Amino acid sequence: MTIDEANRQLISSLVHIYDDREVASISSLVLEKITGMSRTARLIHKHDKFEAPQLHLFQQWLAELSEHRPLQYVLGEAWFEGLRFYVDENVLIPRPETEELVDWVLADLQSFPAPDLRALDIGTGSGCMAISIAKKRKELQLMACDISPDALAIARKNAVANNVEVEFFLCDIRDVSSWGEMPGLHLVISNPPYIPESQKATLDKHVRLFEPELALFVPDEDPILFYKLIGQFARKKLLEGGRLFLELHHDFAWEIMHWFNENGFSSELRKDVSGKSRMLKAQF
């Protein structure tokens, strides 16, 4: 099989799953990973044939992609804030909206008066937020927690790969009794579960079938459950001038902001690049 034939087979096999732009991007990334060639080089060498190991890998990845397994899990990597992260089905795939939240945090930190800042990422998953912030603000004391031991193992792996120090620990933020063990904080960040169970059927198969439910879904009867818990936690643990940054479900953005304002915080919503209210900053 030649590079050109592989490209055409990828596109024809996946066009019923993804739109044309996504299919072209997936094909390009798969072939770049297999051949080690840039797009231009692949065009020049499009009649080159795969070696046997390359063909085996191509067939394996094509089969997985055809079953709706996300590209990032197939390749075992996702890029976030210019950094490479290992990902598999134990963690959410980092998304551009979360990059926007991290960019807001980093911009806000430039005006933070405290010299020795201590920050916590709640529900860290792959560690993408904490590690990206740690990479650019090495003086921060960064901690990150998750309810999943498997997710924490991946986050630790990613911290080592990206040469940053983050203190990872196991924690269920719903366990109020564990809050007392944590120190005072200048910054709390989180991208908590926020999709109501009733919306599960509306999600794309590559999300619904493969990404961890624990990190995605909340009960229909209380879709802002984790925002209230994190807000209550922040009231106890944020030091003077401390700040809280959250990624939101846009359907509940105003309800979440109202809850924070009613509970002693001053809060600010921010829209993502698509014009949806997806981020909140709060101070107590």
What's the pTM?
0.94
The reported pLDDT for the residue numbered 113 is: 72
Q: Which of 26, 91, 86, 32 is nearest to 62 (CA)?
A: 26
pLDDT for the residue 43? 95
Residue with tokens 């990902």: 87
pLDDT digits (tens, 9 = 90+) for 212-226: 999 999 999 999 999
Question: Taking a C-beta distance cutoff of 8 angstroms, is the pair 142, 119 a contact?
Answer: yes
Tokens standing for residue 40: 């231009």
**253-262 and 225-237 are packed helices; what angle lies between their axes, rounded to 10 degrees?**
30
Least Cα distance to 18 among 54, 87, 68 occurs for: 68
- Residue ranges in the chain modelled with pLDDT below 50: none
**Per-residue model confidence as pLDDT tens digits over 229-272:** 999 999 999 999 899 999 999 999 999 999 999 999 999 999 99
Give the pLDDT score at 114: 67
